Structure 1
Amino acid sequence: MLRRIAAVLVTLIALVAAARLVTPQQTPGVRQQLTFLRAQLDAGAAEQAQQLFPEGYFFLHALYGLAHVDLGRTAADPAPDLREARWALDRLATPAGRQPFDAGLAPAYGVFYQGWSNWLRGGILSLHPDPALRRDFDAASAALAAAFDAAPTPFLAAYPGQAWPVDSTVAVASLRLHDKLGPPRYAGTIERWLSGVRQRLDPATGLLPHTVDPVSGAPTSVARGTSQSIIQRFLVDIDPAFARSQYLRFRTQFVVRPLRLGPAVREYPVGRDGPGDVDSGPLPLGVSLSATAVTLGAAAVQGDGRLAGALANYGELIGVPVSTPWSKRYAAGVLPIGDAFLAWSKTARPWVAAQPAPLPPGVSRTWRLPFLALLALGVLLSWLPVARSVSGRRPG
């Protein structure tokens, strides 16, 4: 009897896992994730995230608000999403939201703080015009543009003496969003930025580097998956043609199938290894789980539907989501920032550019077969002792 019960449980688990692998998963469940995240935010999850990495409080609120903007853009009634996004934006402007950043930088509090805040601000305006918020958006955009125009490098500092190209990419995307919402003012700033970026690509990969010298903008490290996955999400709204070429380079050098499973995203390019950090997390077989989750959104905005779908299904399998009729969380909800990145990635769509033409698939249709074969083998092995027991009780 115990063997039968164990075999039935293994079979049920395998069926659930197989369903998660083959059922489209890109946007279902996002509202339930956001319900979970709001409850966690109200319970102090942002303050706890701040103890894990420097932008924890900021990122958890920002991603929550951005996911609501994405949902609101296609909702029949965007008012609830607009309300939640405004609430998140208000949290960014509090002392807790600004605490890690330096007010003396140009722009004030640094390009990370201003870029992400301005992107969320513009997203909210795209849902509903608001004169006061528009004034804030115009002022923040002007300050960002002035800082880029005055700098000798396209990559502004996020912290004193430290610059990451990904942060400037978000900020420049917010300027492009400003010009879409009108009146257009920053085409010259954006073109100069693109020209400067093309002169400072990582020579090893041809991609934007992970870190740069804050004075010259020269690369100081190779491109990495955690920053590339975000860069590819935003670059399409700045220059779709440049973004397509960058994304194809990224997909070739970072998207892999470790142990012939996957797909997954490496933290370092194929053929190179390095240490993990608080952003990448542990790197089993060189893979960053955070970069893998965020690449789902990058693939979606680039029209790489098969990779986006595969990453979503893969996440449903290894993320072990727990759902109720009202909420959904991954990995038992122990790391809400991970849920926030995944919710934001599942809602991805361009805000400025038109949806790019679909890409030729970079992932085989058969990628699920090894997983399904392993699940079938597990079921078979669980039933063998039962079969032997039944056979042994038959009269000879």
Structure 2
Amino acid sequence: MRKFLGLLVAVVISAAAALAVVRLVAPADGDSGVRRQLAYLRAELDSGAAEDAQQLFPEGYFFSYALYGLASVDAGRLDDAWWALSRLESDAGRAPFAGEMPLQYGVFYRGWVNWLRGGILSRVPEAARDAAQVRAFDEDSAAIAAAFDASPTPFLASYPGQAWPVDSTVAIASLRLHDKLRTPAYDVTVIRWLANVQARLDPATQLIPHTADPDTGEPTSGAQGSSQSIINRFLPEIDPELARQQYTRFRTWFLAAPLGLGPTVREHPVGTDGPSNVDSGPLVLGVSLSATVVTIGAAKVHGDESLADGLARFGEVAGLPVYTPGTKRYAFGAAPVGDAFLAWSKSARPWVAAAPEPPSRVLSRWWQLPLLTLLLAVGLAPWLLRSALRRRRSA
């Protein structure tokens, strides 16, 4: 019996290593995988996954529906996207964003909602667009622009007394989307925002900071991977030149391969260490899982297909995907909101900007070699151990 169990363990370990090798070298499943994830997510959302996520972090409910809606737009599932938007505009969707702020509900809530509504409208022929939704898009865009125009800082409050520059970046991108779909009205607002942002970069990295003083816009913490990955997802929609500069710096400061295994994205710049936070999740060797996932989408909208593909393939190994008929989930379905981030990232494409030129730096084609070597060693180890034990017994 012991011999049989030992054989079974060896077979399981080798089979798992072989499966990981296949997932690493095979192309990531792209749109078909996103559709499977969305099918899984819809069932989970219907069963209360967003409410569960709200217990984990302050925007858990919001992101569960917002990212599902955004990925649904890219997948052409507009009914699902409208459904997600309706959940965001409910009392439950607005509840975390109460409090007195110049922009009602704060720039986080207003920016993401405006971006999602505009994205849905962009997929509907102009003559067929719902008049009430078009009016809401126009009114929300006007309110967002007015708040930026009246502010001494480019970084509006997301919560009372708290400002995250990433949230203002999303809101400004929604104004660019408005001007693409409707009569252009906010070019001056965006140009002023760009100038004010470039005057308030993180001194250490020359990247947009993670947090800022809500009254002055001056950085209160340096750049971090969890916000940089989202900022770089949206900057190409706002200004291609600033986007190229910021993305190049982001790649330099945050792309890493700890222990030679990667690619991954750090939460803190290369050469520095810092604590984890609710946005980064637990850090392993300085790597943020959430930043790594979201960077797939950032790389895609920057035309950096080599990095997007590398991150996606690495995720197929490290993310432990599970397939059922018609669905796909990662980490055995332990965190549906994580699947929502991944579906949004893997479905990424520009909504405002033209397709970008690929960056001059690409991910080395040899990045897989250390991980393949490790998987080969894991797969062979049980058999080498069994062989060594047999020789020892016979000696």
Interval of TM-score (by shorter of Structure 1 and Structure 2): over 0.9
Matches within 5 A, 1:117-128: 117-128=113-124
Unaligned 5+ runs, structure 2: none
- The residue type equivalent to 2:41 in the other structure is L
Aligned to 2:60: 56
Contact 1:103 1:109 in 2 (8 A): yes
**Which stretch shows the higher mean deviation, 281-290 or 117-126?**
281-290
Q: Would the alpha carbon gap of residues 393 and 275 (structure 1) be closer, same or farther in structure 2, given more than 3 Å must change?
A: closer
Residue 98 of structure 1 deviates from its aligned partner by 0.2
Partner of 1:335: 335
Given candidates 78, 83, 101, the residue that maps to 2:79 is: 83
Aligned pairs for 1:1-396 within 5 A: 2=4, 3-25=6-28, 27=30, 28-72=32-76, 81-102=77-98, 104-128=100-124, 129-387=129-387
Moved more, 227-236 or 275-284: 275-284
**Does structure 2 retain, via aligned residues, the 8 Å contact 1:306–1:361?**
no
Offset at 1:4? 3.8
CA contact (8 A) 1:302 1:358 kept: yes
Pairwise CA distance, 1:234: 0.3
Q: Which moved more, 1:209-218 or 1:356-365?
A: 356-365
Look up the SS of the partner of 2:172 in the other structure.
Answer: helix
**1:351 to 1:390, Cα distance in 2 relative to 1, 3 A:** same
Q: Secondary structure at the match of 1:328?
A: strand
Once residues 378 and 223 of structure 1 are traced to their aligned partners in structure 2, the CA distance between those partners, rounded to angstroms, is 37
Match of 1:76 in 2: none
Structure 2 Cα separation of the partners of residues 318 and 232 of structure 1: 23
> Post-superposition shift, 1:387?
4.3
- 2: CA distance between counterparts of 1:110 and 1:273? 31
For residue 390 of structure 1, report the CA deviation from its aligned partner: 7.5
The more displaced of 45-54 and 383-392 is: 383-392
CA contact (8 A) 1:176 1:352 kept: yes
Q: How many residues of Structure 1 are paired with residues of Structure 2 in the alignment?
A: 387
TM-score of the pair, normalised by structure 1: 0.94
CA distance in 1, matches of 2:52, 2:9: 39
State the one-letter code of the partner of 2:113: S
Deviation at 1:132, TM superposition (A): 1.4
Give aligned-pair identity as a percent. Answer: 62
Structure 1 residue 7: deviation in Å?
Answer: 3.0
* 1:77 alignment partner in structure 2: none
Moved more, 218-227 or 103-112: 103-112
